[in-house]
Each structure stands twice: as C-alpha cells, then as structure tokens.
Amino acid sequence: MILPHCSMCNYQFKWKELLFMMGMKRCPKCGETQYVTAKKRRQAAWCGPVIVTLMFVLQTLFSLTMQSLVVVGLVLIIVGVTVSPFMYEFTEKEEPLF
C-alpha cells in the first residue's frame, strides 16, 4: 500500500497527516490545497452500506449478541480509519461528485 502524493509538487503525505482528514488537505511543502478525487469519494461512500451489510451477515451467521456486534462495529471503524490514508488520491481542483 502506498500513501498519496501532492498533485503539484509530488510530496508524499505521511500517514498521520491524513488520519482524520475531511475531503481536503493542504500540502505542507507547496501549500497547495489538495482535494480527494471524485472517484475515491464515490468509493468511500460505499463503505458505510458495505459495513452495515457485513455486520448484518455476521449477525445472521454467528447469531452475535448486541454487545459483540458493537465490538465488531468498533473494530471495523478502527480498521477503516487506519487504512483510509492509503485509499486517498489527490487532485488540485475540487471535482464534482456527479
């Protein structure tokens, strides 16, 4: 897995710089604002429904209790946040979603 680069100066962002990013990020090297590409934002929009479906399937298969379902949900969120910096792709222009 590789971390995304600045689309202007090719600066490679650090994992912790992108951890709680919301759609855009200022490049620490050239100062240019970087936006997540529409393609990646559309992919990210699928994560919620996929996680909910996955939890529903797990609950049906293993008849999990509410408490263990909450734990599974938390683990999925933590994994998602940890992995998310690797999923980004940047562009210097804000792209419309549709």
Q: Is 36 in the site for Zn ion (CB under 5 A)?
A: no
Q: Is 18 in the site for Zn ion (CB under 5 A)?
A: no
3-state SS, one letter per residue, for 30-76? CCCEEEECHHHHHHHHHHHHHHHHHHHHHHHHHCCCHHHHHHHHHHH
Q: Is 83 in the site for Zn ion (CB under 5 A)?
A: no
**Which residue, 17 or 64, has its beta carbon nearer to Zn ion?**
17
Q: Is 11 in the site for Zn ion (CB under 5 A)?
A: yes
Of 18, 25, 27, 37, the residue at the interface with Zn ion (CB under 5 A) is 27
Strand partners, 25: 34
Of 8, 38, 51, 69, the residue at the interface with Zn ion (CB under 5 A) is 8
Tokens read off for 58: 């797990």
CB of 46 to Zn ion, least distance (A): 28
Q: How far apart are CA 27 and CA 37, in angstroms?
A: 15
